[in-house]
Amino acid sequence: MNIFETDKTYVAGTYNRFPVEIVSGRGSLVRDVNGKEYIDLGSGIAVTSFGVADKVWIAAVEKQIRQVQHMSNLYYTEPCALLAKALCEKTGMSKVFFGNSGAEANECAIKVARKWAAENKGPACSTVVTLKNSFHGRTLTTLSATGQEHYHELFQPLTPGFAHFEAGNMEELKALCADGTVAAVLIECVQGEGGVIAMDPAFLKELSAYLKENDILLMVDEVQTGNGRTGQMYAYMNYGLQPDVVTTAKGLAGGLPLSAALLGDKVKNVLGYGDHGSTFGGNPVACAAALSVVNRLTDSFLAEVRQKSEYLVSRFTGAPGIESVSGLGLMLGLQTVKPASEVIKACMENGVLVLSAKSRVRLLPALNIPMELLEKAADIILAAAK
């Protein structure tokens, strides 16, 4: 059996894989088993923030892996403490809970919201409201949080205590909050899986003011948008928000499983001993990797991310075959005239890996992708879309 057949036989059939086996790479170039090279504009879905096999990242991982690769959370390790400090200093948040996946970070946020509301507003206040067309993960509870019916159908009964409203429709939200049972609102500033849709700043401003007035938590899911992806450390910073909880994962450790729920002043002491935990959460190798990623997201580096974004937006806006460009920073969506799947296939044949999100072609390049690769990839995408 070749690898495709072995995988199809033994790996659960949850992923519709492309017929490509990636074996190695460096930066934004990856190579398949036949030696064909691709410019990678997917970054493992916004995970490899500094590309593949990046030297700084490898050094950070290697140093830690030779010291101690895992310790239980019964003991202190330096990378975990230093990463939590760095994340708080860069955001103004107060405390961090570490997990392994985006779904796990959102589970933590939901537990924090429930416990905070029970203690401060009474046991009837437990609902977490999210946006329609949102995506918050695949565990049963984060599936309930996800505002897309088609993910729900096969897995009833879901976790109760969730409601959804249309982005921009404050009246719908106010109706949900009228009986005082809403503990928190959880949003993505740019919906990723929902089709690379950036929220309207006026809506988020109004939402944030309303939640503050009514003592309802604002929780921002930055699993995909976080860690420099949108040209700011976190996407909420583009909107001037002050969330009570921020969750992040994908790009945080640049390619190792790590997630974080950042807790603001209001909720920093909600979780106490025994309230929550995770065996691998805060793993020293993952945290050392993340510390190296976070330390490189300087103001000047983020300015470069924004410049690269502007370059791509200007190349694609109004180009033949491109109906519209959406998103923020290096998280961009292209509504193409041709079906996205056709464009993605043509890109792949010509040596560029891109993703889809709903009907759009989705671009999530490494944040440090060199300009000449970005230019070359844009040429190939434009030719494929024409």
Ligand X SMILES: *Cc1c(COP(=O)(O)O)cnc(C)c1O
Closest CB to ligand X among residues 40, 188: 188
The answer to whether 249 and 259 are in contact (CB under 8 A) is: yes
Q: Indicate the residue whose CB is closest to ligand X.
A: 102
Site for ligand X in 176-195 (CB under 6 A): 188, 192-193
Choose, by CB under 6 A, the member of 79, 102, 231, 327 that binds ligand X: 102
Cis check: omega of the bond before 160, within 30 degrees of 0:
no
Site for ligand X in 7-66 (CB under 6 A): none
Instruction: Please give the Cα distance from 314 to 361 (Å, whole number).
Output: 16
Per-residue binding string, ligand X, 213-252, x by CB under 6 A, is --------x-xx------------------------xx--
Closest CB to ligand X among residues 115, 250: 250
Count of residues making up the chain: 386
The answer to whether 125 and 181 are in contact (CB under 8 A) is: yes
The answer to whether 11 and 36 are in contact (CB under 8 A) is: no
- The two tokens of residue 257 are 């499983």
Instruction: Please give the Cα distance from 187 to 170 (Å, whole number).
Output: 13
Largest CA distance in the chain: 62
With CA atoms as reference, report the closest residue to 185 among 265, 129, 258.
129
Secondary structure (3-state) at 241: coil
CB of 47 to ligand X, least distance (A): 9
CB of 382 to ligand X, least distance (A): 27
Site for ligand X in 133-162 (CB under 6 A): 135-137
Closest CB to ligand X among residues 54, 188: 188
- The two tokens of residue 91 are 């955001």
Q: Does 83 bind ligand X (CB under 6 A)?
A: no
Choose, by CB under 6 A, the member of 43, 48, 101, 227 that binds ligand X: 101
CB of 135 to ligand X, least distance (A): 5
Q: Site residues (CB under 6 A) for ligand X?
A: 101-103, 106, 135-137, 188, 192-193, 221, 223-224, 249-250
